[in-house]
Structure 1
Amino acid sequence: MEINFIVLLVAASSTMVIGFIWYNPKVFGTIWMTESGMTEEKMKGANMVLIFGMSLVYAFLISMSLQMITIHQWGAVSMIGGDPSIVKPSYYAFMADYGTTFRTFKHGAFHGILTGVFMALPIIGTNALYERRSWKYTLVTAGYWIVSFMIMGGIICAWS
């Protein structure tokens, strides 16, 4: 199996689209600004090119991890050490039989949600506890990542 960097970039870019919707003042933007202590004045002084650029880089790193989580066949690749030139014929037989099993948007979205709930939520929740942030902040921020992981997982699993 090869890494499809274009699909990973599309998945990473989806976080930007989701963010523009999620953090719109008519959706959760106002709640997030209030709960995070962000103001319009603070936002005006930000280097948005740097913020959006680094957000995309981070999302790309997440998409690389989600690829291994949402596509079960990567487990077979990891068992051979990633080098198909040293494998036994059973690997090729397995991939011939199961190489496209569970490769749908729905399946990837399912694993994306699970990853969001069991990875992103606890990380954000723990940080929020120590930063003395509200449960609203935790739910808005974790909710964004759960939805983002869902969409990213779906894209990666269906298109890779």
Structure 2
Amino acid sequence: MDFLNPMAIIAAAVSALVVGFIWYHPKVFGKAWMQAAGITNEQIKGGNMLKIFGLALLFAFLLASALPGIVIHQMGVFSLIGGDPTKALPSYEAFMVDYSEAFRTFKHGVFHGVLTGVFIALPILGTNALFERKSAKYIFINSGYWIVTLGIMGGIICAWK
């Protein structure tokens, strides 16, 4: 069974940009984020957008590539056999017949993606922001984005078989 669906990984990576366009829009959190980050409109307009969005997509792709191990339970079973089903004991095949589709839903992927955001992204971003002397507003806007984004990415990856 193949758990790494390349189209799901790509779609999940692109979804990070789509959520970002909405989340950081001036009518959503964009103005508050700019204020909390200490960024002006001139600074936003002065950036190399091709470089920024290109690297953002690359980073989102890296995250999406790591998420199957977090949001798809069967990846754990696959790793227990060393990644080669031809060398697995017969119990592996029996297990996969019974459980290959278990918990492979969008909702379940969102659950694990959100947990990833809360327990990994929030502490990392929060720690950096504290040392950068950023406000709680800054921490919650950015962490909120990643919690929502990782939830959507997890849902896409888990459900798309």
TM range (shorter): over 0.9
User: Structure 1 residue 86: deviation in Å?
Assistant: 1.1
The answer to whether the aligner puts 1:94 opposite 2:92 as a matched pair is: no
Quick one: which amino acid aligns to residue 54 of structure 2?
A: G
The answer to whether the aligner puts 1:11 opposite 2:12 as a matched pair is: yes
The answer to whether the aligner puts 1:134 opposite 2:135 as a matched pair is: yes
Aligned residues: 160
What fraction of aligned residue pairs are identical, expressed as a percent?
A: 59
User: For residue 48 of structure 1, what is the aligned residue in structure 2?
Assistant: 49
User: Structure 1 residue 41: deviation in Å?
Assistant: 1.2
User: For residue 61 of structure 1, what is the aligned residue in structure 2?
Assistant: 62
The answer to whether the aligner puts 1:76 opposite 2:77 as a matched pair is: yes
Quick one: which amino acid aligns to residue 131 of structure 2?
A: Y
- Secondary structure at the residue paired with 1:28? helix
Question: In 2, distance between residues paired with 1:141 and 1:86?
Answer: 44
Quick one: which amino acid aligns to residue 49 of structure 2?
A: M
User: Structure 1 residue 11: deviation in Å?
Assistant: 0.6
RMSD: 0.8
Normalization by structure 2: what TM-score?
Answer: 0.97
Query: Gaps (5+ residues) in structure 2?
Result: none
User: For residue 112 of structure 1, what is the aligned residue in structure 2?
Assistant: 113
Query: Gaps (5+ residues) in structure 1?
Result: none
The answer to whether the aligner puts 1:156 opposite 2:157 as a matched pair is: yes
Structure 1 residue ranges, 4+ long, deviating more than 4 angstroms after superposition = none
Quick one: which amino acid aligns to residue 145 of structure 1?
A: W
Normalization by structure 1: what TM-score?
Answer: 0.97
